[in-house]
Amino acid sequence: MRAQSLLLLVALLALGSQLPAASGRRKGEKRGGCPPDDGPCLPSVPNQCMEDSQCPLWMKCCYKSCFRQCVPLVAVKQGTCPEDRLRCLSPTLHLCHKDSDCRGKSRCCLSACGRDCRNPAGD
């Protein structure tokens, strides 16, 4: 029975090392966020990176034009954007492009008809 307990402990420790850090970031993920991916998708373009560690210090591995590439990271505020389940019938209109465009704790979040400043969910 003792060997089974030890094996279970080793398995849990190995699994724990794969979980996100307490800050919500994955191991090796840089602080900051990715700019919005508003561009058209480029067909058959291979990813240029798979994780932040493959990018220079001031850059982050993000989706841009529907494939991953190193782009300048942007500052993000705390909290998560609320989910908007509605879909807009009118053209997309962005009222902000990054969190710093919004006052106070508000974040630049994707809504039904584009991005706008919203209070983070759960805060």
Residue 108 maps to a domain? yes
- DSSP secondary-structure letter at 64? E
Which tens digits make up the pLDDT trace of 44-89? 889 999 999 999 988 999 988 889 999 998 888 988 888 888 888 8
Residue 31 maps to a domain? no
Residue 115, classified by CB atoms within 10 Å of its CB into exposed (0-12), middle (13-18) or buried (19+), is buried
Which tens digits make up the pLDDT trace of 24-42? 556 678 888 888 877 778 7
Residue 26 maps to a domain? no
Most confident among 14-28, 29-43, 108-122 (mean pLDDT): 108-122
Residue 113, domain extent: 78-123
Q: Enter the tokens of residue 40.
A: 């058209």
Residue 40 maps to a domain? no
Residue 20 maps to a domain? no
pLDDT score of 113: 87
Would the pLDDT of 105 be above 90?
yes
